[in-house]
Structure 1
Amino acid sequence: MADDDSGEFRAGRTGLIVRIPEAEPAVRAWRDRLDPSARAGVPAHVTVLFPFLDASRIDSGTCAAVAEVIGRHPAFETQFAHCGRFPGILYLTPRPDGPFRRLTEAVAERWPETPPFGGRFTEVVPHLTVAQGQDDAVLEEAGADLRGRLPVSAHVSSVDLMVHDGTRWQRRASFGLR
């Protein structure tokens, strides 16, 4: 979800993610080594919205509203067949990515005070982060290894609410797609 050096791993921080357990065999060793969020308890995932509301603002009414927004969207199949890069970051690219974009747009529209990634980017690109904060040589090595492990296909049927407890990320709730 966030870079460990950014100060965004703090108690009460939340995010909405789509877990991709099918990708774990391909990415786990790299993520454990090169992605601070993996070491903090976040599974292989595509972020729907981060940061979301502070944990103190999430009650049963909020969870019901999240469930309603998420539940309007159908479950879907996706595939990760290629690696992509942002500066210092290696990720897997989902295809199709439209369902992820629609989930992000729907949640951000319902809670406009929580723009994706704090509003830092003009376009949100759905992705599964494998490594971040690394130099090009490390990213090239990881990418070369991953290309031999792809494609990974996944069935997406839910969105998880993750909460940072001050030490690790924990799943607080799961919301089903229709």
Structure 2
Amino acid sequence: MSDGASGRYRAGETALLAVVKEAEPLVGPWRQRFDSFAASGVPAHVTVLVPFLDVDRIDAAVTDELGALFGRHAPFAVRFDSCRRFPDVLYLAPAPDAPFRALTEAVVARWPEAPPYGGQFAEVVPHLTVAHGREAHVLDEVEAALTAGLPVTADVTSVSLFATDGDRWHQRAEFPLLGPTPF
């Protein structure tokens, strides 16, 4: 997700996202105002991997392999009960975050040429971005409003492949998590 500030992206870029529909009622209005990715067609989500392979590298074999890879992972419940921050980013923190980390690690193990966030960060921190690129006082206001609506709980049952045409992101495929559910 190359250039969130301008709202323009590199055509053909892809992302693997765990869409969190249950968070949309709480975060959707804020994301529309303060997260350019929302206005570009990206729903509330926790990123599994971005950037992934360029869209011209994703053929039936890659799609089948993604389906098998994600299918080995079990669906899981997640709870978002707190806001946290990176510099100029406000996000909801998922608990547990280990299943998201496991999904990312599995994809990177298979496609090491696609490191998370292009290798920009030493540690991947699963998160659901609500606002970015704003002054601290704006993030403070958004956080105060969000806190009143927490917690949000969700069942993560799939990972979706999104691709951009340069202006908007579009869902290209959805891969169910089918592994055995832990008891």
Quickly name the TM-score band, shorter chain normalised.
over 0.9
- Against the structure 1 CA distance between its residues 6 and 67, is the aligned structure 2 distance closer, same or farther, given a 3 Å change threshold? farther
Structure-1 residue corresponding to 2:181: none
How far off its partner does 1:75 sit? 0.3
Q: Give the letter aligned to residue 100 of structure 1.
A: F
Instruction: Supply the distance in 1 between the matched residues of 2:68 and 2:13 (Cα, whole angstroms).
Output: 22
What is residue 80 of structure 1 aligned with on the other side? 80
**Size of the alignment, in residue pairs?**
178
Cross-structure match for 1:5: 5
* Distance change >3 Å, CA 168–CA 7, structure 1 → 2: closer
- Distance in 2, matches of 1:113 and 1:159, equals 20
Counting only pairs closer than 5 Å after superposition, residues 32-47 of structure 1 correspond to structure 2 as: 32-47=32-47
Deviation at residue 146 of structure 1 after TM alignment: 0.2
Please state whether the residue corresponding to 2:5 is helix, strand or coil.
helix
**Cα distance in 1 for residues equivalent to 2:82 and 2:7:** 30
Deviation at 1:109, TM superposition (A): 0.7
Q: Secondary structure at the match of 2:51?
A: coil
Instruction: Normalising by structure 2, report the TM-score.
Output: 0.94
Counterpart residue type for residue 85 of structure 1:
R
Residue 8 of structure 1 deviates from its aligned partner by: 7.3
Alpha-carbon distance, 1:10 to partner: 1.7
Deviation string for 1:22-60 (max 9, x for gaps)? Answer: 000100111000001001000000000000000000011
SS of 1:73 mapped into structure 2: coil
Measured after TM superposition, the shift of residue 166 of structure 1 is 2.0
**Identity %, equivalent residues:** 55
Say whether the 8 Å CA contact 1:3–1:132 is kept in structure 2.
no
- In the TM superposition, residue 89 of structure 1 has moved relative to its aligned partner by 0.2
User: How far is the alpha carbon of 1:5 from its aligned partner?
Assistant: 3.3
Question: Per-residue deviation at 1:68?
Answer: 1.1
Point out where structure 1 has 5 or more consecutive residues left out of the alignment: none
Q: What is the aligned partner in structure 2 of residue 48 from structure 1?
A: 48
Matched, 1:132 2:132: yes
- Mind listing any 5+ residue stretches in structure 2 that lack a counterpart? 179-183
